[in-house]
Amino acid sequence: MEEILAILKELDWSPLYISLKTGVVATIFSFFLGIFAARKVLKAGPKFKAVADGILTLPMVLPPTVAGFFLLLLFSRRRPLGIFLFETFDIKIVQTWTGCIIAATVIAFPLMYRNARAAFEQIDVNLIYAARTLGMSEIQIFWKVAVPSAGPGIMSGTILTFARAMGEYGATSMLAGNIPGKTGTISQRIAMVIQDGNYLTAGVWVVIVMLIAFGIIFLMNLLSGRNMKQVKRW
């Protein structure tokens, strides 16, 4: 017990902040991108749908290291896009926190997209028709009718996205690396301390991760519960 307290006292808390920040920012990006992509795919014809759906879901099915490999290929400063970003906007992706966010967003995005699409597909299309005949603009319809009606599905997509983004390891370690205080997330810290044989510190981080994950899911369920009165228990 005393050992654990000693570890907690001397613990470098930066992985916690980095993971939380990464999780929150990546979830925000994924939320809007996922909903946007879901809407676009829903509108598209069957052929485009099949192709687009495949591409958008790929990051979830591929091993994260493969996604990391592609991201490195894309953003490396020896590659066109990486050179362009650095020379024009002075933006560095590899080995930076921005890299953390991009990796986490890419990996977690399919969860948001798929949940949002499934939720949109379940909406009673008459609601949309009714909204149109009532004179609501398409943007109003989308945010005031479609998204709230798809609420439960979008909410669970957001929760899963956050969990996945916060725990991202493979792609993050390849694109952003593990720079303590900069890109060192909790997952990477756990892997690192285990390699050092420091199981107790690893255990402390594991407990922290579990508490955060459970706490956030619990909170979101509570919040969404208020908006899900129309969902009946059975």
Partner 1 sequence: MAVDIEFQKKLGNFTLNMCLKSESRRIGILGASGCGKSMTLKSIAGIVTPDEGRIMIDGKVVFDSSRKLNLKPQARNVGYLFQNYALFPTMTVKANIAAGLKGTKLQKSRRVEEMVKKFQLEGLGDRLPGDLSGGQQQRVALARIMAYEPDVILLDEPFSALDVFLKDRLQQEMIEILSDYAGTVILVSHSRDEIYRFSDELLIMDAGNAICFGKTREIFADPQWKDAARLTGCKNIAEIRRLGDHMIEVPNWGITLRMTRTVPQDIRYLGVRAHDFVPIWGQEVKNSIPVEVRSVAELQFEKKYFLKGAVEEAEEICWFVQRELWEVLDQKGMPDYLGIPEEKVLLLR
**What are the residues binding partner 1 (CB under 8 A)?**
124, 126-127, 129-137, 144-145, 148-149, 151, 227, 229-230
Dihedral sign from CA coordinates of 19, 203, 222, 167:
positive
| Least Å from the CB of residue 180 to partner 1 | 45
50: Cα within 13 Å, side-chain hemisphere: 2
Nearer to partner 1, 9 or 226 (CB): 226
Grouping H, G, I as helix, E, B as strand and the rest as coil, residue 181 is coil
Answer whether 81's CB lies under 8 Å from 75's CB: yes
Q: What Cα–Cα distance (Å) separates residue 190 from each residue in 15, 42, 195?
A: 10, 40, 9
Nearer to partner 1, 86 or 142 (CB): 142
| Least Å from the CB of residue 108 to partner 1 | 26
| Least Å from the CB of residue 136 to partner 1 | 6
| Least Å from the CB of residue 32 to partner 1 | 20
Nearer to partner 1, 140 or 221 (CB): 140
Nearer to partner 1, 61 or 127 (CB): 127
User: Considering just the CA atoms, what is the radius of gyration of the chain in Å?
Assistant: 20
